[in-house]
Amino acid sequence: MHRFANPARFQRLASIILPWSDVLTAGLLVSGLYFALFASPADYQQGETVRIMYIHVPAAWMAMFSYSVMAAASAASLIWKHPLADVAARAAAPIGAGFTAIALITGMLWGEPMWGTWWVWDARLTSVLILFFLYLGYMALVNAIDNPAAAVRAGAILALVGFVNIPIIKFSVDWWNTLHQPASVIKMGGPSIAPSMLLPLVLMALGFHFYFVSVLLRRMRSELDLARVRALEDAIALNSEEAAA
């Protein structure tokens, strides 16, 4: 990955990837929403409410995936001092926070008619709420520290410590009694969900993944452009001081 440590090389790679990721995002999300809202049947128990799951479940997957990317980038920043790793971690945080918020909101919308309540403090819901606060805490921390090196280190440590919450979210339904059902898609022996319901889930999940790639690359490019502007401003200010002296 150090081949792409050069910002100019990264910018060229992003320019190649972005058109493809944008097209795939649009195509997968449009087709996923079509199957989720129109082409898939209603559930025999949940009725039409099951259609919320086609947004909720992929958003929950992406909430964990985004944090995993942020933690991996933070590790690369701390261990290998990869110059773009911190940029990637910072860029991934707001995207992951957005997916986590969607997962929480859609979960509450589904829970009220199914469980009779908007919220319960079970292991899965509580650990996902903690994940949302971890995202917010990371963003607040890295933006609150003026020293860039200290901000990078503090944010990376928080991201890595918080990563322990990811397996807790994943296995909470197996370790504790919760209202959430056990895994029905990603499990040993293959999915136990009907193909007509699995298809929109997979399409939406893939669409969210490519959306993540598109937004992540754009945010990273914006961060790099902003860093160049700041460097130029600092250089101009330094030249002005030298000229005045």
Per-residue pLDDT, 244: 67
Per-residue pLDDT, 181: 67
Backbone angles phi, psi at 47, to 5 degrees: 65, -145
Collapsing DSSP states into helix, strand and coil, what is residue 176? coil
Per-residue pLDDT, 186: 58
Query: Does some domain include residue 171?
Result: yes
Which of residues 8 and 100 earns the better pLDDT score? Answer: 100
Query: Does some domain include residue 3?
Result: no
Query: Does some domain include residue 68?
Result: yes
19-23, 34-38, 106-110, 185-189: range with highest mean pLDDT: 19-23
Query: Does some domain include residue 21?
Result: no
Backbone angles phi, psi at 5, to 5 degrees: -70, -25
Per-residue pLDDT, 188: 46
Tell me how far apart the terminal alpha carbons of the chain are, to the nearest angstrom: 44
pLDDT, the chain, mean? 88
Confidence of residue 42 (pLDDT cuts 50, 70, 90): confident
Query: Does some domain include residue 34?
Result: no
Q: How many structural domains does the chain have?
A: 1
Tens digit of pLDDT for each residue in 189-221?
555 577 888 899 999 999 999 999 999 999 999
Instruction: Return the percentage of the chain with pLDDT > 70, whole number.
Output: 89
Query: Does some domain include residue 25?
Result: no
Query: Does some domain include residue 197?
Result: yes
Q: Which domain holds residue 66?
A: 41-244
Report DSSP letters for 6-39, one per residue: SHHHHHHHHHHHHHHHHHHHHHHHHHHHHIIIII
Per-residue pLDDT, 173: 79
Query: Does some domain include residue 106?
Result: yes
How far from chain centre, in Å, is Cα 172?
20
User: What's the CA gap between 215 and 5, in Å, rounded?
Assistant: 19
Instruction: Return the percentage of the chain with pLDDT > 90, whole number.
Output: 59
Q: Is the pLDDT of residue 81 over 60?
A: yes
